Amino acid sequence: MWRLRTVGHKARGPGIRSEEFKLKRREREKVLRQARRDRHLVSKRLLLHDYDEEEGDEEHTRASVKPASSEQVVEIMCKLQTGGEDKATALRSLRNVLRSPEVHVAFIRLENSVPVLVGLLSGSDAQCRVEAAKCLHQLSHSPCPNVGLACLPATPYLLTYLSGQRGKFTELCLYTLGNLCAESEPVRERLQAQGIVMALVSCIQNHGGSLAVLEAVAFTLSQLLQAREGASKVAPLVLTLGLIPHLVAGLTPDPEFGIGAAIECAWCLHYLASCEVDKSELISQGVVSRCSSLLITLEETVAQGDLQEGLELLIWPLVRCLGNLLASSACENTEECVRDTRVLSALCGFSHRVLQMHPALTKETLWVVNNLTADSPAWCSALLSFGLLPGLLQLLPLSLGINCMVLRIVGNVAHKGSVFSLMLTQGGLLPPLCATLKMADPEVVTLSLEVLYLLVTSSQQAGEEFVKQNGQSVLEMIQYSSDEALRQRAAAIVDLLPQAAADER
């Protein structure tokens, strides 16, 4: 049920060796990080058609190995234009040739090539229509931006076909559109003018039951939403056109289909929750409760030792969506927004389970715990009564900002009053806190001092315990720091410590 079914768009063949794959992945990762910094993080998806199975995979691999030349393109286009012959066959060979990205540019430069292709896409021959769409899909995956632009004349037809009945063909059109969306702002503007969001809504309505179509719709939508102008132009439309219930319904992993559709829906919801729009619509449509209940279910599954590859692809956006909705002004009261307290245990559970593979996800789950506990004594006492404190304290020595988040969380708890502070002290917070006071990161030291201050001002026992831990020497040392803000804080706490106990030393 939780497996990430490798649907048709998994281009990774078994032939690729793992070392080679790792190298490629590492290079790609570097490029992606740079792209993200440049705010142009886009990805395209290549659908390896299930149709290909009919033709046999052998032919397919052979074709991709054979270097395609632009002469071949000219030849095929001649055949297509002169008419006669079997156009569908010609289109099939065109698609094979187009598997080499180098040919894409040659193709669009060829006079009349795109109009001919669009003519076949819009023609009455059903088979030609499908083959032309596949050719366009290949073109839409091109790394060259000009190719995408050249395909624009096809978009009205692709959008029209979304309301068709045939699932596979609809998917093909959707992924092609999704790839084109990724290209550039002018393309997205054009598509929006042609009503792409509305077309996506009616597409989901027409293909109510199909998770594959839902996945494709959500993929295309996520491409629109994550674009720079997505927040201002697309998100409001998505909220008003009634897509949210479909996305929420999509957050249901299917035993047959796997979690692919849920992943895409969850990312769409994350993009919506992380931009500056009115979140009340999202909350009233039940996004918070759906996200949290799915997280609880997922954690239970993972706790049973059933951690499937790729599950983090679903956990990640759910966590983010929850975190941002809890922080929004639309969420007046976190206790009312999230009614199931098990979500707290689930989040803390994830923070440990994903730590080795995805420490960044650990930090994000802790961020959500921070948002839950910030204004709510109820969540703070849940944290303590569920016995989640020891697990959090284990994370205190870790870097990558994890310790800061944990300190914020214990700070939230300590801030709720002396009973809470006392429980933190009794829960063993002071020994690890003495260690974080010695850390290099000034932010960690600052937060540690803040937490310590909350503890010693609200309970006598904390001060005594801290002195017992030989914590005073750490504070004295901080008073010799070059950072004035740290010195002030440390000096203030030293004055608060129980003097009798301090003098005994």
Give the dihedral of Cα atoms 231, 233, 237, 243; nearest 10 deg. Answer: -50
Taking the complex as a whole, the smallest distance from the CB of residue 48 to other proteins amounts, in Å, to 10
Other C-beta atoms lying within 10 Å of the C-beta of residue 248: 20
Complex with other proteins: residue 293 or 365, whichever CB lies closer: 365
- Min dist. Cβ of residue 280 to other proteins (A): 14
| Min CB(24)–other proteins separation in Å | 7
For other proteins, the closer of residues 118 and 445 by Cβ is 445
Q: Which are the contacts of 5, defined by CB distance < 8 A and separation ≥ 6?
A: 257, 258, 259, 260
Burial readout 260-287 (b: 16 or more C-beta within 10 A, e: otherwise): bbbbbbbbbbbbbbbbebebebbbebeb
* Least distance in angstroms from the C-beta of 405 to other proteins: 8
CA distance linking residue 282 with residue 245, whole number of Å: 9
The encoded tokens of residue 291 equal 């996200």
CB of 11 to other proteins, least distance (A): 5
Question: What's the closest the beta carbon of residue 179 comes to other proteins, in angstroms?
Answer: 10
Q: Which helix (H) or strand (E) holds 79?
A: helix 70-82
Q: What DSSP string runs through 99-165?
A: TSHHHHHHHHHSTTHHHHHHHHHHSS-HHHHHHHHHHHHHHHT-S-HHHHHHTGGGHHHHHHHTTSS
The residues facing 52 across adjacent strands are none
Which residue, 113 or 138, is less far from other proteins as judged by CB?
138
CB nearer other proteins, residue 32 or residue 78 = 32
**Which positions ≥6 away from 282 have C-beta within 8 Å?**
239, 244, 269, 272, 273, 288, 325, 330
113/421 with CB nearer other proteins:
421
Nearer Cβ to other proteins (191/475): 475
Q: How far is the CB of 22 from other proteins (least distance, A)?
A: 6
Q: Considering beta carbons, is residue 13 or 115 the nearer one to other proteins?
A: 13
